[in-house]
Amino acid sequence: MKRFILPLTIFLILTVFLGVGLHLNPHEIPSPFIGKSAPQFHLSQLGDTGKSVAPENLRGKVWLLNVWASWCGSCREEHPVLMEFSRRQIVPLVGLDYKDTRMDALGQLGQEGDPYVVSAFDADGRVGIDYGVYGVPETFVIDKAGVIRYKHVGPVTSEVIEQKLLPLIRELNRV
């Protein structure tokens, strides 16, 4: 009997490790940006090439940057959630239209509603790369000093908003 104890223990330890591994999401890569200043950019607005969008214009406010594209399926999934969020007017929601065409993007916003106070147009995805975007949609929470505090990869759900974003926004707004 005693000779089985060691293999059994090793097996159990392995099982625990593999079990935990099964429940991790390999697509959630810890962002190196948390706690760092949001990279600067100057992009034209999606709806108006004459006007620009820059993070520095939002200094002093807590705001969300939502990276999306008209070709992205999961962005459609989160779209109603964002609409509801923007209706509550808690913080400005800025869009970053990533590797898209103006026509497709504006068409979609026109059809389904525009949750963004303003959208920046990132045609070649360079700003996306500067923000370490690897899977649209991604959502960043940026504080009053322009520091990235949180990043959510994948569609935002109402649970994410209630449990992660809102508490954080409340805390950041208090500072």
Among 47, 132, 157, 164, binds other proteins (CB under 8 A): 132
Alpha helices in 23-165 (DSSP H): 73-87, 102-112, 126-130, 158-160
Among residues 43, 22, 19, 39, the alpha carbon closest in space to that of 31 is found at 39
Q: How far is the CB of 146 from other proteins (least distance, A)?
A: 17
How many residues in the shown chain lie near other proteins by CB under 8 A? 16
Site map for other proteins, 78-117, x if CB under 8 A? ---------------------x------------------
Among 14, 32, 37, 173, binds other proteins (CB under 8 A): 32
Among 41, 131, 140, 150, binds other proteins (CB under 8 A): 131
Q: Does position 130 bind other proteins by CB under 8 A?
A: yes
Among residues 147, 148, 169, 154, the alpha carbon closest in space to that of 27 is found at 154
Alpha helices in 28-92 (DSSP H): 73-87
Place of tokens 């962002």: 31
Q: How far is the CB of 33 from other proteins (least distance, A)?
A: 8
Q: Does position 7 bind other proteins by CB under 8 A?
A: no
Q: How far is the CB of 26 from other proteins (least distance, A)?
A: 6
Q: Which stretch binds other proteins (CB under 8 A): 30-38, 79-87, 106-114, 143-151?
A: 30-38
DSSP H or E run through 13: helix 5-22
Largest separation between any pair of C-alpha atoms in the chain: 80
Q: To 10 degrees, what angle do helices 73-87 and 102-112 make?
A: 50
Q: Does position 147 bind other proteins by CB under 8 A?
A: no
Structural tokens at position 5 = 């104890």
For other proteins, the binding residues (CB under 8 A) are 26-27, 29-33, 99, 124-125, 129-132, 134-135
